[in-house]
Chains A and B, each alone.
Chain A
Amino acid sequence: MPDVDQVLRALGIVVVTAPLVFTVLLGLSSIIGRRLSEEATTRLGHGTIVTGLTAAITILGIMLWYDKHHVEIQLGNWVKIQQHGTPTGESEAPGEAGNHDTATHDTVGHDPNGQEIATHETAAGAATAGPADEPSAGGEEHHHLYHFSVKVVFDRLSVPFAILSFVLSGTIGAFASQYVHREPGFNRFFVLYAIFVQGMVLTALAGTIETLFTGWEMVGLSSILLVAFYQERPAPPRNALWVWVVYRVSDAALLLAAVVMHHLKGEGDFDRFLGQGEWPRQVSALDPQQALIVGLLLLVAIAGKSALVPFSGWLPRAMEGPTPSSAVFYGALSVHLGAFLLLRISPLLDVSPVLSVAVVMLGLMTAIVAHMAGGVQTDIKSALSFASLVQVGIIVSEIGLGMRYVPLIHLLGHACLRTLQFIRAPTLLQDYRTLENAIGEHLPHGQAGIERYRIWLYRWSIERAYLDSILSEYILYPFLRIFRWCDGMERRWTDFLSRGTSRDSDQVQSAAGGIDELA
């Protein structure tokens, strides 16, 4: 009879691998040119979501039943380099995880022989070894030059977010199977959808910053390719490129933060720098200055992913994608990913008041800008996207003010509401007409608050606080000008060396429209 920890481990693996199987099957069939039928894809998607969701809910039930607040599942080291002796690729034994100085956590893992064991770590175990040292069987000390561990964590933050991801992804998957039915891009949509679900689940459950980064990147890539879903028009790819640029800045900041944390603490496990204990009662192991540096880097990453100021401009651009993807990505899940990460690293905010103030200010500014811009939008998806952003700004401010459960509940509720609004958006006029027919008169049209404002404020709002213009004018265009100048100089240099025209590529012709914000 398996004990509870073995059951938890098995269920945890199911939660993570269910979307992985979906992604691999769809991806491989696409690469080898044997695409699954629409029906098979839909069924596979449903099966994945139901399996993952059931496992996640079961984990929640077990945690509630046994009063467990924090369950870590160590899936082993993806890569490990030991300085002395031969580097090995064996899965990390829980004993290694047990070296982590946890007092109350449950860690479920495998011993080297594959026997499942559960360790209930104690504070005493903490002192046995540093983060990177471990004794080998022969007594020789191995120092981890580098290791990339894969660990998932089920706690009060990750479980609700993972369940939310499954619920909303499942809803949207069912909706999308009708929405893109017989579209040429049906298979493409679901491949990207599968990558997105995988990324969301990994990000939600990540126990290390590297695991989180993996999920974060998957979400980013699938997002931009779905923005460019209707790829025969010029606007979607152009906007996708803009979103990708912002995401790359965000990813670079996150990677830098990950590396700085690795550098400070020797490994990227969250409990190494966020401190021991259960979320949200951890006490960070970093000092205020370290917390500020890491926190600011993460804040850039969060601002990029959640469209906070000054990156807010990408959100309405992302509405070029099909409505189901807009709903689940930018209305519900992806846009909240930044807030989720902020909640995950909230112990850093407790350490650094400066960081908390920065978070509050950023949230408020975003909410104000989004409110003003949202008031002057003329299409429903853009208006909804800015409405989402207002709430995200408020959630971020709540986190900065020291609240933890309130923003979490706010986030969950808002994501569900906004998904519903987004998937009703294509039929909004029909809904209004039905409603007006039912009540026998026109619905009252609300007075847009913005009309009361002066004309400059109106312009400010319709230009979305000039955020995109500022980024373009002061960063993008100077960048392009510099490199185009260099390109011109190189042309002169190679022409000089060749004693004639050196570039065959100048004669290359092509048809169709240009891309260019970046050309």
Chain B
Amino acid sequence: MTVLQLPWLELSIAIAICGSLFVSRWRDPSRAYHWGLVCIGVVFACTLVAWLGYYLGVTDDELNRFSPQLKLFGRRLFSLDELSSPLVPTVALLHFLTALATARTKMRRYSFSWSLAAEAIRLATFSCEEPWVVVGLLAVATVPPYIELVNRNRPTRVYVLHMALFVTLLIGGWSLVAAAGGSYTSSQANIGTILLMAAILVRCGSIPAHCWVTDWFEHASFGIGLLFVVPLSGVYAAVRLVLPIAPEWGLRGIGLISLATAVYASGMSIVQRDARRFFAYLFLSHASLVLVGLELRTPLSLTASLCLWFSEMLSLGGFGLALRALEARFGRLSLVKFQGLYSHSPSLAVCFMLTGLACVGFPATVGFISTELLVDSAVSFSSSVCVAVLAATALNGISIVRAYLLLFTGARHVSAVSLEIGLRERIAVLTLAALILGGGIFPQPGVSSRYQAAEEILQRRDQAKLAETKPPTEMQPISK
């Protein structure tokens, strides 16, 4: 037996849940911060070891020996596969860095208890393949953000209406699909699939159901807002629930809506007058580009999409953290006037630019190869799709540099105190910067891993199609 055979994934989820309960006891924000950070750090370490175990080839049988899941559920509900193995530690890392980079002035607002609870749900979602459990977790994941809004005395109607729609469509859709009993071409299953696809589009913020994302960023605290959207749980649902069963026309429909959203959101990001709204549209554009890749259904496009997903988590996460650090110093940031913040925080300016450029696939950053792959696969599909993808990336590039110029250039901001980046924030953004540059300079391991995941997903889709022609059986998991 080796240490890697211990149930690290289960441990990480359990620590997040227990940590949430434990931290909720502390009323002093400083103590809550310290204990919260310890818990989130331990959770991240556990997910990292779990990933290492998967990467080094620890088998399911070896994990089953110590896993409490068999006793609790009778089977393994939560496990890593080729798709989720890098996503789970990345989600945990984002949580850790967001917590680490929380400024003292914001500690009171940032609820570590709810953050840990949301992390537990997210980790469980990303490590689960069981459709009903995924549906349940996605539905439950909408609760902590609602509580965040209520606690901050912010309007909740836009969020609640959209999430209610999402949960209804999701549960209704999967109920119909499940009731069809493996016959994915029956009208019942088709209606279910359409509802599921609509749910995914709502969750990913595709037009016309995208306003909840901008509204969410308007009212939530930036850190919580970031963690709720950046992991792209909607895309995960699309991969696990929709992609294996959706008909070609359905995927094409999602693809077209996502493409339109990508271009629309990138255009909207250019005219925004507030940094948070700008970030929200930037996120919408990238989330939609990830969906575009998924719906093209080729190994290359799927690889591109998965690479883009991973790179967006890092780069948009880093970009959001840079914006959040700026907000902690200067308050809500306007994009109407030049702010002249460079001289106070040149390191933040560099990180802002670096992570922003990584979002749009600048060479030597983690997003470069993903964008290249996506454009390359789009051109095989249709030249108009390719042009739209390029237009979206070009517009995103323009909006990022516009935001940079507006925030960091102009007459010097006058301040009596130092507004330079703090050590914890520096560690957070440098960690992400290192991953962004490392992934950009040595992209092959990441691309290989995502290609294998893409093959697994397509294999699953083929399996589902085959199952339809045969008597209905339970879908077999793809072995490592």
Q: Are A498 and B155 in contact (CB under 8 A)?
A: yes
Q: Say yes or no: is B264 at the interface (Cβ < 8 Å to chain A).
A: yes
Give residues of chain B (314-364) contacting chain A, Cβ–Cβ below 8 Å.
Answer: 331-340, 342-343, 346-347, 350-351, 354, 357, 362-364
| A214-B363 in contact given A79-B447, A244-B401, A248-B394 (Cβ < 8 Å) | yes
Q: Say yes or no: is B133 at the interface (Cβ < 8 Å to chain A).
A: no
Residue of B nearest to A507 (CB): B332
Q: Are A33 and B405 in contact (CB under 8 A)?
A: no
Q: Say yes or no: is A240 at the interface (Cβ < 8 Å to chain B).
A: yes
Give residues of chain A (197-255) contacting chain B, Cβ–Cβ below 8 Å.
Answer: 210, 213-214, 217-218, 221, 224, 228, 231-232, 234, 236-238, 240-241, 244-245, 248-249, 251-252, 255
Q: Say yes or no: is A145 at the interface (Cβ < 8 Å to chain B).
A: yes
Q: Say yes or no: is A432 at the interface (Cβ < 8 Å to chain B).
A: no
Q: Are A510 and B271 in contact (CB under 8 A)?
A: no
Which of B44-52, B170-178, B409-417 is found at the contact surface with chain A?
A: B409-417
Residue of B nearest to A238 (CB): B405
Q: Which of A210, A480, A512, A513 has the most CB of B within 10 A?
A: A512
Q: Which of A81, A231, A512 contacts B408 (CB 8 A)?
A: A231
Q: Which of B332, B347, B379, B433 contacts A33 (CB 8 A)?
A: B347
Q: How far is the CA of A498 from the CA of B426 in the complex (A)?
A: 38
Give residues of chain B (186-233) contacting chain A, Cβ–Cβ below 8 Å.
Answer: 211, 214-215, 218-219
Within the complex, the shortest CB–CB distance from A515 to chain B, in Å, comes to: 6
Q: Are B350 and A30 in contact (CB under 8 A)?
A: yes
Q: Which of B270, B363, B408, B412 has the most CB of A within 10 A?
A: B363
The number of chain A residues touching the other chain, given as a range, is 35 or more
Q: How far is the CA of A145 from the CA of B411 in the complex (A)?
A: 51
Q: Say yes or no: is A519 at the interface (Cβ < 8 Å to chain B).
A: yes
Q: Are B447 and A515 in contact (CB under 8 A)?
A: no
Q: Are B342 and A256 in contact (CB under 8 A)?
A: no
- Residues of chain B within 8 A (CB-CB) of A287 are none
Q: Are B405 and A504 in contact (CB under 8 A)?
A: no
Q: How far is the CA of A504 from the CA of B273 in the complex (A)?
A: 12
- Residues of chain A within 8 A (CB-CB) of B342 are 231
| A81-B340 in contact given A210-B372, A486-B264, A508-B332 (Cβ < 8 Å) | no
- Residues of chain A within 8 A (CB-CB) of B406 are 237, 515
Interface string of A467-501 (1 = CB under 8 A from B): 00000000000011011101100100110011110
| A505-B271 in contact given A33-B347, A148-B369, A512-B410 (Cβ < 8 Å) | no
Q: Say yes or no: is A80 at the interface (Cβ < 8 Å to chain B).
A: yes
- Residues of chain A within 8 A (CB-CB) of B277 are 505
Given A217-B363, A493-B211, A519-B335, 14 more contacts at CB 8 Å? A31-B351, A33-B347, A78-B444, A146-B373, A148-B369, A221-B357, A231-B342, A231-B409, A237-B406, A249-B394, A262-B376, A480-B271, A504-B219, A513-B338
Q: Which residues of A contact B (CB under 8 A)?
A: 30-33, 78-81, 83, 86-89, 145-146, 148, 184, 188, 210, 213-214, 217-218, 221, 224, 228, 231-232, 234, 236-238, 240-241, 244-245, 248-249, 251-252, 255-256, 259-260, 262-263, 479-480, 482-484, 486-487, 490, 493-494, 497-500, 502-505, 508-515, 518-519
Q: Please name 29 pairs of A and B residues whose Cβ atoms are closer than 8 Å in the assembled complex, sorted by A.
A: A33-B347, A78-B444, A87-B444, A146-B303, A184-B343, A213-B363, A221-B357, A224-B401, A228-B409, A231-B410, A236-B409, A241-B398, A241-B405, A244-B398, A248-B395, A255-B390, A262-B379, A482-B267, A486-B264, A497-B211, A502-B215, A502-B218, A504-B218, A504-B219, A505-B277, A508-B332, A513-B337, A514-B338, A519-B271
